Amino acid sequence: MGGLVVLLSIVVALAGLILVRRLVPLEHLKSHNEATSTIHHAIAIVFGIVAAFGIFLVWEQLDTAWATTAREAGNVEALYRLATQLPESNRNQLQQQARSYAEAVVDEEWPLLARGQANQDAQNAADKLRESIDGFEPQTMAEQELYARMLTKVDELEENRGLRLLASQEGVPPLIWAAMVILGIITVAFTYLFEMDTPRLYMVRVTLLTVVVALSLYTIHTIEYPFSSGVQVGPDAFERVLDRTGGVAEQ
């Protein structure tokens, strides 16, 4: 897909170059060559800065999504482990609910994240976890301490779940996308206005510049949404939790 995008960009860029050369007299280009060069350098620098910011932004979003997912899975496992200290009836219920939540996230919710959607079964499982912990009545000092730790973990679980769902919906702001695309087009199109003594060599220069611009934009697009892009966050962290706690994730 990336190769096709770059190839189409090159074809369009070279077609534009040929069209401009036929419509604009060479003498007119020579008389403005110095001014055109100065303006083009400025535009290229601005594009480079905006594209670099876009790449940094999507990479940070991807890294944050990885970390948030790992923390959420860690919260599930922590609740499962803490439940071993509860009375048997409470223990079995809470551990089963922790596994059910992880299974719902892996099997049902993860495919929906590509569309920025949550799964109601996963949300219900999280709500049941909260209800079970809220409904526990500690009888001793040790149980009170355990209860406080479980409350902290379920709070963190809900927070990380919300952040994960938010990350599935947030991409590059439209204004930044518009700036990158427009500046990229102008950066390439401005090369049409330079004097061209060796046509073939000049076409190679335009091609190389187009490749750089197209690859920059395609890279940003590829990793823009961390749960649906080519370099995406998977449910591996939850699957490892299921393996360690005896749950089985359906593939």
Report the pLDDT value the prediction gives residue 27, as an integer from 0 to 100.
64
Mean pLDDT over each residue of the chain, to the nearest integer? 87
Of 232 and 109, which is predicted with more confidence? 109
Report the pLDDT value the prediction gives residue 250, as an integer from 0 to 100.
38
Is 215's pLDDT higher than 50? yes
The span from the CA of 186 to the CA of 221, in Å, is 19
In this prediction, residue 158 has a pLDDT band, given cuts at 50, 70 and 90, of very high
Is 247's pLDDT higher than 80? no
Report the pLDDT value the prediction gives residue 199, as an integer from 0 to 100.
76
Predicted TM-score (pTM) of this structure: 0.80
CB of 218 closer than 8 Å to CB of 181: no
In this prediction, residue 213 has a pLDDT band, given cuts at 50, 70 and 90, of very high
pLDDT in tens, 37-90: 788 889 999 999 999 999 999 999 999 999 999 999 999 999 999 999 988 888
Is 205's pLDDT higher than 60? yes
Give the torsion sign (CA, 195, 197, 199, 204): negative
Three state DSSP letters for 169-215: CCCCCHHHHHHHHHHHHHHHHHHHHCCCCCHHHHHHHHHHHHHHHHH
CB of 202 closer than 8 Å to CB of 196: yes
